[in-house]
Amino acid sequence: MTASWPGTIEKWAPYAVTPLLMIAALPAMGFGPWLTLTVAGLCMGMMLFLMASGLTLIFGLMNVLNFAHAAFVTTGAYIAASVLWRLTDWTMEPSLALNLAALAVALVVAAVASGALGYVFERLVIRQVYGAPLRQILITVGALAVVEQLIIVVWGPGAIPLPRPAMLRGSVFIGGSAIETYRLVALGVGLLVAAAMHLVLTHTRIGLLVRAGVEDREMVEALGYRVHRLFIGVFIAGTALAGMGGMMWGQYQTLVNSQIGNGMTILVFIILIIGGLGSVGGCFIGAVLVGLMSNYVGFLAPKLALGSNLLLLVPILLWRPRGLFPIAEH
Amino acid sequence: MPESSDALLRLEGVHTDIGRYQILGGVDLAVGRGRVTMLLGRNGAGKTTTLRSIMGLWKPRAGRISFDGRPISGMTTPDIARLGIAYVPENLGIFGKLTVRENLLLATGRQGFAEPRLERVLKTFPALKVKWNASAGLLSGGQKQMLAIARAIIEPHPMLLVDEPTKGLAPSVVDHLIEALKTLKSEAATILLVEQNFRVARAVGDEVAVMDQGRIIHSGAMAALAADERLQQRLLGLSLGAVA
């Protein structure tokens, strides 16, 4: 059977949105600024992807609206700050290998700690509110406030600095444009995690179950799989990714406070809606679009910067009301 | 209907509510081992709810469901499925974003496909072989139905529950499905089949149970119902011709 032209265009058009946005921005600013802003946008997109990808799976698989997701972003950032403070010998050394090793250790510890917290959170909080969306919203918003206060108890009310390692502070020049070294690292980490997620989702049985569960959880259960157990694993992975995202974002901001995750909540939900609920690929493209749009609009029309994501969200929803790559039916 | 000792699946006084509404009001049904039992009835009679109650997708409020002598009413859906009950729902439950291969792979154990079984399934449904790596969402209605049934039989199961497999299909596809069901029947599969198409019911059914308003109002041999036009009229509200 040969697919019709309109069908083919309809299928592939969402993939064209990102390149079209990049091409459209080029004549408005010239190549130098365009390259700098594009790399900055992609880097921001990768960090947003880390924060949002777990949430889209959590929602897609179990229909759980977890507004406390931001708490894991914040926890990851604080844990990473604590780890990096203990590794100042490595971060201050003008050695790229030691600097990257320090970042890797912080990233792993932040992910493990956030994932462990995610496990406890699922057992104590989320488990009580399956199938009750209103209670989910109330209890997770409440839990977010509790975690933020607990963070203040442990780390204090003030913001704590999270300086970048010595070799990641400057810029590199590519094509005559200055690009921050840390942004390139963040871009690399994001791409690496996205590739790993893609591999797991497309080449493993667990990935197959997750993709099937996002589409039709009931049928997966009717095939004999215990989706709740699968969901616990996804929840832990999702919160671990949020922790990694928090670490990368905190390092990007060079400052961590108890609101660092909460401040990203709206952006993360916009990404989920743009990408299509339950779709990791959609989440990736949504995050890149939001990152690029924020940077382009911030440069071209700074007064519109705050609303830049709505400028993106509204036309996409008018075109595709369920997002670019919808999977979950709910 | 089968005697107690012959029944692989047994429902006794099953009541199931959806929200505030009672859908099943005391269903008594026995599905004989190695038999094809047709569950007939008008729209809204409770046929789909009966299958979903068996699978634990809707929990019965009262009554008892047992499989191979073991009570399953309080069990979770995955545990019921692991006992060996395969289910083809009315909406087919096809994962449209997954390929045909992946849909079938989900129904196998950790060891993956058993080659002889896979070959036999693909011989029964050759269209699936052609579409092996295509997204299941792009299949035609008949192909999706074949995939749903293939998924239920890709591993041997003691019991198969199928909900309206011929709904909305072209007559030629229905004929193909009848042949596939007859093949399963010849292998002594135990099947509970919900069907509105009397031709299909007549072609593959050994036993029949007719539902109305959430209860079984008739059970007996399919051949007897097929031969009795007046009984058809009384139970189903339409006469489909008597076939001895």
Residue of chain A whose alpha carbon sits nearest to that of B79: A224
Backbone phi and psi for residue A246, each to the nearest 5 degrees, phi listed first: -65, -40
Tokens of A116: 């462990």
Cα distance between residue B58 and residue A147, in whole Å: 37
Find chain B residues with C-beta within 8 A of A222's C-beta. Answer: 55, 57, 77, 81, 87, 89, 93
Lowest mean pLDDT segment, chosen from A204-213, A298-307, A321-330, B57-66: A321-330
The DSSP annotation for A132-184 comes to -HHHHHHHHHHHHHHHHHHHHHHH-SS-EE-PPPGGGSSEEEETTEEEEHHHH
Tokens of B67: 């499989």
Q: Each residue of B125-167: pLDDT tens digit? A: 899 999 999 999 999 988 999 999 999 999 989 999 999 988 8
Share of chain B above pLDDT 70, in %: 95
pLDDT band at B6 (very low <50, low <70, confident <90, very high): confident
In single-letter form, the type of residue at position A164 comes to R
Q: Torsion over CA of B119, B120, B124 and B127, rounded to 10 degrees?
A: -10
Tokens of B36: 């094809």
Contacts with A229 (C-beta within 8 Å, 6 or more apart), sequence order? none
Positions of E strands within B46-157: 62-67, 70-71, 85-88
Q: Each residue of A62-120: pLDDT tens digit? A: 788 899 999 999 999 999 999 999 999 999 999 999 999 999 999 999 999 999 999 99
Across A222-235, average pLDDT: 92
Average pLDDT, rounded, for chain B: 90
Q: Is pLDDT at B242 greater than 60 in this prediction?
A: no
Across B186-201, average pLDDT: 88
| Residue A188 CB-half CA count within 13 A | 9
Residue of chain A whose alpha carbon sits nearest to that of B82: A224
Residue of chain A whose alpha carbon sits nearest to that of B81: A224
Q: How far is B2 from chain A (nearest CA, A)?
A: 26
Q: How far is A13 from chain B (nearest CA, A)?
A: 17
B227 touches chain A (CB under 8 A): no
Contacts with B155 (C-beta within 8 Å, 6 or more apart), sequence order? B86, B107, B108, B109, B114, B117
Backbone phi and psi for residue B36, each to the nearest 5 degrees, phi listed first: -105, 115
Find chain A residues with C-beta within 8 A of B97's C-beta. Answer: 211, 215, 327
The DSSP annotation for B20-75 comes to TEEEEEEEEEEEETT-EEEEEE-TTSSHHHHHHHHTTSS--SEEEEEETTEE-TTS
Residue of chain A whose alpha carbon sits nearest to that of B51: A222
Across A268-290, average pLDDT: 93
Say if the Cβ atoms of A209 and B106 lie within 8 Å: yes
B89 touches chain A (CB under 8 A): yes
Find chain A residues with C-beta within 8 A of B54's C-beta. Answer: none
Tell me which residues of chain A have a C-beta less than 8 Å from any C-beta of chain B: 1, 3, 205, 208-209, 211-212, 215-216, 218-227, 327
Out of B78, B98, B110, closest to residue A212 by CB:
B98
Helices B141-153, B115-124: crossing angle, 10 deg rounding: 150
For β-strands B190-194 and B159-163, DSSP reports them as: parallel
Say if the Cβ atoms of A221 and B77 lie within 8 Å: yes
Q: Each residue of B33-74: pLDDT tens digit? A: 999 999 999 888 999 999 999 999 999 999 999 999 999 998
pTM of the predicted model as reported, rounded to 2 decimal places = 0.86
Cα distance between residue B136 and residue B144, in whole Å: 7
Say if the Cβ atoms of B98 and A211 lie within 8 Å: yes
pLDDT at res. B3: 52
ipTM of this model? 0.90
Across A296-312, average pLDDT: 90
CB B203 within 8 A of CB B182: yes
